[in-house]
């Protein structure tokens, strides 16, 4: 990404703001969003570092840090410890529900559950995983790829990344006998979860594992789970549109349920 000229937010310009103006970190957030929206900072590009922004804008690094951190929480930016801050691709979000064990869902429908463990490994985290799990590039993650079946038909392709410090014996498990969800819940149920739902067409590997055609639309659920303040898992759950549907219900107090 080419070096960008930054226009300082001078004391003079700040003094011209009305008395009810937003705090300085909010002005920095607006400044960053405007740079992205105008195209001056390219999509998925890397932002100048905090020290450079602090010098260029003439404000403290602490203020810059808070602004970028909050933009990352809003999924406008991606922050990777030890690497930098990047512009996130804007995507619509939709909040859902409780986390369920897919094996129980299938059996509760009177169907026979089965699965194929495709991959179980320890890897260097890809950039989206580093950003999504707040993991440094020199730290490893566990990765599982599992195809779940109902009456012999594939209904979900699970790609799950797990923080090793949370589940150190994850790779030792037989996930044909216990699902990853059941195993991780047995260690400690998540205190919080985030879901993002998208519709996608499958790539070649997904087509093969789910036994679907290239034009088959898929429902993809991206899920992050926390235990306390630590992100413990990042999962991508892909479902063939013709074999799966998602139903949600909202109670009177606003809580989402499946």
CATH number at residue 203: 3.40.1410.10
Q: According to the model, what pLDDT value does residue 175 have?
A: 96
Q: How confident is the model at residue 152 (pLDDT cuts 50, 70, 90)?
A: very high
- Residue 54's domain is classified under what CATH number? 1.10.10.10
Percent of the chain with pLDDT over 70: 80
Q: What is the dihedral of CA 117, 123, 129, 134, to 10 degrees?
A: 130
- Rounded to an integer, what distance in angstroms lies between the CA atom of residue 256 and that of residue 36? 33
For residues 52 and 11, the answer to whether their CB atoms sit within 8 Å is no
Same domain, 108 and 229: yes
Structure tokens at 120: 């179980």
Same domain, 108 and 161: yes
Domain total of the chain: 2
Same domain, 61 and 121: no
The answer to whether residue 20 scores a pLDDT higher than 60 is: no
Same domain, 77 and 121: no
**CA 2 vs CA 47, 64, 73: distances in Å:** 10, 20, 26
Domain final residue pick, 53, 87, 121: 87
Same domain, 120 and 83: no
Q: According to the model, what pLDDT value does residue 114 have?
A: 95
The answer to whether residue 254 scores a pLDDT higher than 60 is: no
Q: According to the model, what pLDDT value does residue 248 have?
A: 55
Provide the β-strand partners of residue 85.
79
Same domain, 136 and 216: yes
Q: How confident is the model at residue 83 (pLDDT cuts 50, 70, 90)?
A: confident
Question: 19 is in which domain, residue-wise?
Answer: 11-87
Same domain, 178 and 203: yes
The answer to whether residue 15 scores a pLDDT higher than 80 is: no
* Residue 14 CA from chain centroid, whole number: 36
Same domain, 83 and 112: no
Same domain, 171 and 109: yes
Structure tokens at 72: 């990352």
Is 231 inside any structural domain? yes
Backbone angles phi, psi at 57, to 5 degrees: -90, -10
Q: According to the model, what pLDDT value does residue 2 have?
A: 37
């Amino acid at each position: 990404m080419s070096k960008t000229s930054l226009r300082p937010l001078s004391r003079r310009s700040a003094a011209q703001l009305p008395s009810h103006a937003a705090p300085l970190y909010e002005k920095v957030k607006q400044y960053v969003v405007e740079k992205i929206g105008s195209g001056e900072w390219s999509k998925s590009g890397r932002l100048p570092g905090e020290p450079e922004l602090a010098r260029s804008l003439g404000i403290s690094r602490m203020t810059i840090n808070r602004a970028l951190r909050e933009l990352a929480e809003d999924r406008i930016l991606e922050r990777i410890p030890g690497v930098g801050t990047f512009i996130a691709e804007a995507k619509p979000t939709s909040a859902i529900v409780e986390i369920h064990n897919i094996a129980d869902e299938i059996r509760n429908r009177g169907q026979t559950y089965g699965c194929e463990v495709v991959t179980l490994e320890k890897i260097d985290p890809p950039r989206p995983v580093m950003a999504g799990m707040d993991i440094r590039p020199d730290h490893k993650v566990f990765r599982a790829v599992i195809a779940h079946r109902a009456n012999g038909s594939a209904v979900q392709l699970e790609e799950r990344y797990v923080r090793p410090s949370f589940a150190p014996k994850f790779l030792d498990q037989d996930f044909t006998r216990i699902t990853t969800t059941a195993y991780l819940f047995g260690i400690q149920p998540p205190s919080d979860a985030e879901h993002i739902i998208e519709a996608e067409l499958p790539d070649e590997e997904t087509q093969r594992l789910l036994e679907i055609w290239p034009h088959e639309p898929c429902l993809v659920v991206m899920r992050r789970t926390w235990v306390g303040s630590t992100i413990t898992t990042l999962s991508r759950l892909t479902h063939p549109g013709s074999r799966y549907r998602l139903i949600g219900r909202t109670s009177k107090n606003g809580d989402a349920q499946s």
